[in-house]
Amino acid sequence: MAERILVVDDDLDTLRLVGLMLQRQGYEIIAASNGAQGLEKAFAEKPDLILLDVMMPDMDGYEVTRRLRSNPITSTTPILMFTAKTQIDDKVTGFEVGADDYLTKPTHPTELQAHVRTLLARTPKKKTDELKLPSASQKGYVIGVISARGGLGVSTIATNLAAALLTRTQTDVVLAQLTPGLGTLGMDLGIPSQTALTDMLQCTIPEITREKVQTSLVSHNSGLKLLLASENPRDVNLTSQVKNFESLVVQLSSLARFIVLDLGFGLPTYAQKLLLMCNQRVVVLEGSANAIQHTKLLISEMNTSNIQPETITVILNNRQRSESQMSANKVQEKLGHPIATTITPAPELFSQAIRVHSPAVISQPSNMTSQQFLKLADAIIKREKTR
């Protein structure tokens, strides 16, 4: 199979001439006319060598090289910088950021060919099995937590469910709040101003590697590993990055035994896709007529998407003490779906948990409400073992 060379240059004449010259030598050529396009093609195509111009308007070759070297996909791919810059400092900078070789324009075709052959000859051949997606045996149990509308306590449920799973199993548990621009967990858990989710949604799909996701997780003193959404309202626009969300969850599923996803409320496109990737879906509602009706519609939409009813766990979250709240039996009758657990009102418990920046299940494990989360965790663990 012909060795593949990615040529990145904003000068289209150079791009065409160099490409043709190398093609005649039997190489397969991939072309990119700017730095961003070069990165995308490098991560997707995995070339054997990258021929990179330095002076490009959007992102210069130095920055492209830095990004190539920081990504496991291209960290060892040979890079030949090909540029009109002739100062010795420019060459030094090229080598410092990770280039393997440096040629100045114009150069004789024979010289370029010799440098290309030398770089390819001293580079070990790539293994064909690199960067595989996690196999079924390597995938964790993914739980999506969602509600039909806002203000029903999805983040509180997700946090304490994750903490309960951690308490019961003493294994790795990841809690990911996948609601860009609506982040609350960072502040609640004492780790504000997080940008990990925003960064994932703004990069290219090939950049979302297992290693990158793993290093983006924050270790909380409770033992949970966290991927946190930002509080910046403008980041809500990133909900359109559906493929990024999917790639992120694929990688998260290889990093822990349990992965709890806070999906917020409603059914935006990304949430629809992620619900299909979950092993279990936890739907949160309260005992009011409107909430029941909205939740009934949500579950109906999930069933339409071929999500099996037995994988939908409904939690009645009575956040406030009120006589207007219906009983679990009444809610179940009106909803037409079993209620798995009822969380009794405990506003003081959750307020105290926020003050100490810890899930209630961790800070007050003997509390009756904490015990309800632990029983829910027991049911989920039992289901996980039979999948």
What is the crossing angle of helices 368-385 and 154-169, to 10°?
Answer: 70
Contact 189, 229 (CB under 8 A): no
The more confident residue out of 381 and 207 is: 381
**What distances in angstroms separate CA 316 from CA 238, 267, 283, 313, 334, one per listed residue?**
30, 19, 9, 10, 13
Residue 128 has pLDDT above 50, yes or no: no
User: Measured between alpha carbons, how far is 332 from 376 in angstroms, rounded to an integer?
Assistant: 17
Q: Tell me the percentage of the chain whose pLDDT exceeds 90.
A: 62
What is the pLDDT at residue 134?
Answer: 47
Confidence class of residue 256 from pLDDT cuts 50, 70 and 90?
very high
Residue 75 has pLDDT above 90, yes or no: no
The more confident residue out of 127 and 168 is: 168
What is the pLDDT at residue 86?
Answer: 62
What is the pLDDT at residue 192?
Answer: 83
Contact 318, 287 (CB under 8 A): yes
Residue 121 has pLDDT above 90, yes or no: no
Q: Which helix (H) or strand (E) holds 99?
A: none
Residue 130 has pLDDT above 60, yes or no: no
pTM: 0.67
Q: Which residue is it, tokens 């990911």?
A: 176
What is the pLDDT at residue 322?
Answer: 63
Domains of the chain and CATH, by start: 4-121 (3.40.50.2300), 136-385 (3.40.50.300)
Most confident residue range from 51-60, 93-102, 274-283: 274-283
**Among residues 311, 285, 282, 310, which one has the least CA distance to residue 296?**
285
pLDDT digits (tens, 9 = 90+) for 314-346: 999 987 666 667 888 999 999 999 999 999 888
Confidence class of residue 138 from pLDDT cuts 50, 70 and 90?
low
For 211-230, what is the mean pLDDT?
A: 93
Confidence class of residue 133 from pLDDT cuts 50, 70 and 90?
very low
User: Measured between alpha carbons, how far is 296 from 348 in angstroms, rounded to an integer?
Assistant: 30
